[in-house]
Amino acid sequence: MHLNRRSRIALRLAMALGLAVLYVPLLVVLLNSFNASRSFAWPPTGFSLRWWQAAWQEPGLRTALWTSVRAGLGATAVALVLGTMAAFAATRYRFFGRQAVSFLLILPIALPGIVTGIALNAAFRTVLTPLGIGFGLFTVIVGHATFCIVVVFNNVSARLRRLPGSGEDASADLGAHTFQTFWYITLPAVRGALFAGALLAFALSFDEIVVTTFTAGPGTQTLPLWIFDNLARPNQGPVVDVVASALIVLSALPVWLAHRMSAP
């Protein structure tokens, strides 16, 4: 493609602007977390680690982080098992209602979180509460799993569709029983898709706030809920900046890893 000098410059500017819109706000948050001033004053008055120290000593924050990690791991585990099984059913077998099942599995990701939240809240109230199971980490995990399953399902079924079935035929032909074929041949082939799906599922769960609001009990606070709570509180703004900065670094890491692994 041939571009003249002027359009090349214009396109470069457009790209720079786009990247700036994406990253300048993040940079501001990062800088503010080291800002000596307490009131987001700009330009920063001095460099300080006091907010990082404050965040570290904040007990509510630590509890919320731990809750989020547990909710994310739980939802990812549920999604990995159910999503993988569903992907196999939908791509490797022919049965009545196969298309409908695929559609119903994918729908929750498109549904507004508020709808999922209200529906789950009502369902838990009618079904779980009489059984003595209250709102808490468990209900959060179930709530998150509804949309985490979708990403695992999509990743794994896309991989399975591109995987020729002859590999599994060859394995059976060479004497491998069904479980051996799954373990030695199919699983290694979809390992990348499982990993990517799990990473995405965890990320979705980790920053989810709408469904969480409706499925967490009063005693359960995930990290996003904690941030939302503290953003409005006096003196907590810089601490929230610290949390946000830590999360930026933590999210960049797996993305960078995945990028490196998929690079030729």
Partner 1 sequence: MPGQMRTVASTITNENGFYLVSGVSSARRMLGIYVVMTVTLSGVSKKFGAVRAVDGVDLEIRSGEFFSMLGPSGSGKTTVLRLIAGFEEPTTGTVQLAGRDVTRLPPFDRDVNTVFQDYALFPHLSVRQNVEYGLRVKRVAKAERISRAEQALATVHLEGFANRSPAALSGGQRQRVALARALVNRPSVLLLDEPLGALDLKLRLEMQSELKQIQREARITFVFVTHDQDEALTMSDRVAVFNAGRIEQVGTPAEVYERPATPFVAGFVGTSNLVEGETAAKILGSHGSYSVRPEKIRILPPGTAARGDEVAAPGRIADVVYAGAQTRFLVDLEAGGRLTALRQNRDEDGDEALRHRGAGVVLAWRRTHTVELTQAN
What is the closest distance, in whole angstroms, from the C-beta atom of residue 171 to partner 1 in the complex?
7
Site for partner 1 (CB under 8 A): how many residues?
17
What lies within 8 Å, CB to CB, of 194 at 6+ separation is: 80, 84, 152, 155, 156
d(C-alpha 205, C-alpha 195), whole Å:
15
What is the closest distance, in whole angstroms, from the C-beta atom of residue 87 to partner 1 in the complex?
19
* Residues from 50 through 69 that contact partner 1 (CB under 8 A): none
187, two tokens: 């699983």
What is the closest distance, in whole angstroms, from the C-beta atom of residue 264 to partner 1 in the complex?
13
> Residue from 14, 20, 24, 173 that binds partner 1 (CB under 8 A)?
173
What does 221-253 look like in DSSP terms, one character per residue? Answer: --HHHHHHHHHSSTT-HHHHHHHHHHHHHHHHH
Choices 47-55, 72-80, 177-185, 239-247; region in contact with partner 1 by CB under 8 A: 177-185
222, two tokens: 């995930």
Choices 83-91, 120-128, 162-170, 213-221; region in contact with partner 1 by CB under 8 A: 162-170
> Residue from 18, 25, 60, 167 that binds partner 1 (CB under 8 A)?
167
> Residue from 30, 31, 118, 176 that binds partner 1 (CB under 8 A)?
176
Q: What is the chain's length?
A: 264
* Residues from 184 through 213 that contact partner 1 (CB under 8 A): 184-185, 188-189
Nearest to 145 by CA among 212, 80, 78: 78
d(C-alpha 201, C-alpha 223), whole Å:
16
Rg (CA), the chain: 23
d(C-alpha 55, C-alpha 28), whole Å:
18
What is the closest distance, in whole angstroms, from the C-beta atom of residue 91 to partner 1 in the complex?
17
> Residue from 99, 126, 166, 262 that binds partner 1 (CB under 8 A)?
166
What is the closest distance, in whole angstroms, from the C-beta atom of residue 219 to partner 1 in the complex?
46
What is the closest distance, in whole angstroms, from the C-beta atom of residue 173 to partner 1 in the complex?
5
Nearest to 202 by CA among 66, 67, 75, 64: 75
Interface with partner 1 by CB under 8 A: which residues? 164, 166-167, 169-177, 180, 184-185, 188-189
